[in-house]
Structure 1
Amino acid sequence: MQRQDLADLTAFMTVAQERSFTRASAKLGTSQSALSHTIRRLEANLGVRLLTRTTRSVSATAAGERLMATLEPAVDRIASELASLSELRDKPAGIIRITASEHAADTVLLPALEPILKTYPEIEVELSVDSSLADIVTEKFDAGVRLGEAIAKDMIAVPIGPDLRMIAVASPDYLARHPAPTTPRELADHNCINLRMLTGGGLYAWELERDGHEVKVRVEGQFTCNNVNMIIKAAVAGLGIAFVVEGRVSQRIADGQLVQIMPEWSPTFPGYHLYYPSRRQASAAFVLLVDALRYRR
């Protein structure tokens, strides 16, 4: 069936329902002459007369009545389906794919997702835990989570957590053998634990700051790892000084397993942000997720 056939059938059904070319043309937004031409074309194509015209009224012929009996239920079903689709658009449902680091997933995403998934059973979330900086557009993610300073300018970024702070820590055992450094320069005399970056493969340069004075330090030591959890365990074991996000070691500091050093050189920086393309057409489920994650100070 051609698109023109559908338009012609719609025109016929409107005339038959309105019993008037005048009212039908007004409803369809076309002229009476164009509507008459459409009906004549449809009747010619079908080879039967569908409408009986008099000076006062228009009525369906037997063939027209039979066609109406077929068209009206079909159109009603289509209207019903369209209404259902509209409801689906406004109802939180569907799959949302997110990529995030393990720390962001554990401390921010999962706590926020738990009540959403329990309340809205038709929402599905696929979470990819990956510390590399994935291209969410190429890899078809709906959104990603990164630190605020690492997000491309063409993305919408929504803060989902507080500012973070990097701190230097070491075990009491290590500090008993090596006096704690008090300045970044003194780190050169210490066994420092390096982080191998997953993206690019380089070593992370420690970013220290005091009274607005920023210093980047390339540290050296016996142990290097690309996993922060392993770096923390190495620090607890006394293998050297680690430089990590404060929240990841606060409990170990409270338990006495680690000690913070050079606290005056510990900078804060923008925390986790949910980011997604500005051209993204947001579903009701995605809007709900963004609102639940949004950090409110």
Structure 2
Amino acid sequence: MLKDFKMDELRILCAIAETASVSRAAQRLNMPQSNVSRTLTSVERKVGLAIFLRTARELVRTEFGEQFIHASRAVLEQHEQLINLADRYKNTLQGVVTLGAPIGIHQFLGRYILPALRKTLPELQINLVTRNASEREQKYGAIFNSDCDLLISPFKPQNENLIARPFTRFRTGVFASPDYLAQHPIAEPEALVDHECITLRMLGGSDNIWTFKSKNGEPLNLTVKGGFVCDNTLPAVELAKLGMGIVYAPYYSLATELAAGQLVPCLKKERCIDLQAWLIFQRRDILPLRVQALLDGLSAHIKNLSHLLL
């Protein structure tokens, strides 16, 4: 069985064919003549056929040599096209970047960050894909699918080969409608176990673990239950607005409802915890330029918005 040919071998043989001379090919390639001659001999031995006939004045291609050189040029051209394709894909800002995130984070980005990024990176088409975390991801880590270039998640990735950069911290609290709290006041986090809580699938399904701070500042984990289980905060917020129970959600995601008085905090902010969001991506050395640009843009803008998140 024949061994594979190296691109350099094909380039040398094509140069010999174009110059009809080992010495002239060596001059063109700026290589020692002995290396060019050695390559020709090696390839002919590899295929077991003569590619050139040696005459007194020049090298003449054999019948096999004509076909071999023709095929070699085609291979070299395709190789060059592949290199150019990879270079364009790696080094251009133009194209699609897919950003996965929970729906609440997408809302925040859409309100405060993405319009500004669109102005500074007009070449980008930013494709937003909802990736609400699951209970399994809470246990084992975030799943980074191939359909995302970047992923924002409250959990680090399962795949240890991925990069997880701290993106931002955000305060998470408990909220209810004014009517609900008027009828069912809450003084301490521990009282939540006796309330109707709208639970989230990613926090355990029907039995959720909600985390707060105790009076001395230590983490306080409470198991709560309720009649509704949601896979994201949007329906949970709507149910809470209707007085159907208490929702556990980031403050930033309820800015509109809090300002309108549709929801109110059940506990003081100092009894609530901060959670970490992670920005997950592949190694920077294999990221296309457009993905790096969005990554850097998101990271730069979020630093100026901590007052809206904590």
Give TM-score scaled by structure 2 length. 0.69
Match of 1:174 in 2: 180
Per-residue deviation, 1:164:
0.8
For 2:267 and 2:177, the matched residues in 1 are separated by 14
For 2:192 and 2:204, the matched residues in 1 are separated by 25
More off after superposition, 76-85 vs 212-221: 76-85
Match of 1:219 in 2: 224
For 2:230 and 2:197, the matched residues in 1 are separated by 8
2:271 aligned with 1:265, yes or no?
yes
Match of 1:251 in 2: 256
Structure 1: runs of 5+ lacking an equivalent:
none
Match of 1:115 in 2: 118
One-letter identity of the residue aligned with 1:201: G
- Give the RMSD, CA atoms, in angstroms: 4.4
Aligned to 2:257, the other structure's residue is in SS state: helix
Question: For residues 115-264 of structure 1, what are the structure 2 equivalents within 5 Å?
Answer: 115=118, 119-120=122-123, 125=127, 127-132=129-134, 133=137, 135-136=143-144, 141-147=148-154, 149-152=155-158, 154=160, 155-160=162-167, 162-178=168-184, 180-189=185-194, 191-198=195-202, 201-210=205-214, 211-263=216-268, 264=270
Aligned to 1:233, the other structure's residue is in SS state: helix
**Preserved contact between residue 194 and residue 220 of structure 1 (Cα < 8 Å):** yes
Distance 1:285-1:102 versus aligned 2 partners, 3 A rule: same
One-letter identity of the residue aligned with 1:112: L
Match of 1:81 in 2: 81
**Preserved contact between residue 143 and residue 158 of structure 2 (Cα < 8 Å):** no
For 2:9 and 2:121, the matched residues in 1 are separated by 49
Aligned to 2:248, the other structure's residue is in SS state: strand
Per-residue CA deviations over 1:58-116 (Å, capped at 9, x if unaligned) read x455979x959968975884576256323333223555554322112222379538718
For 1:35 and 1:233, the matched residues in 2 are separated by 74
One-letter identity of the residue aligned with 1:88: Y
For 1:126 and 1:198, the matched residues in 2 are separated by 21
More off after superposition, 70-79 vs 125-134: 70-79
Give TM-score scaled by structure 1 length. 0.71
For 1:129 and 1:193, the matched residues in 2 are separated by 23
Structure 2: runs of 5+ lacking an equivalent:
305-310
More off after superposition, 123-132 vs 202-211: 123-132
Q: Which has the larger radius of gyration?
A: 1
Per-residue CA deviations over 1:227-248 (Å, capped at 9, x if unaligned) read 4222222222223333221112
2:282 aligned with 1:274, yes or no?
no
Match of 1:92 in 2: 93
**Preserved contact between residue 99 and residue 128 of structure 2 (Cα < 8 Å):** yes
Aligned to 2:303, the other structure's residue is in SS state: coil
One-letter identity of the residue aligned with 2:180: Y
For 2:172 and 2:190, the matched residues in 1 are separated by 17
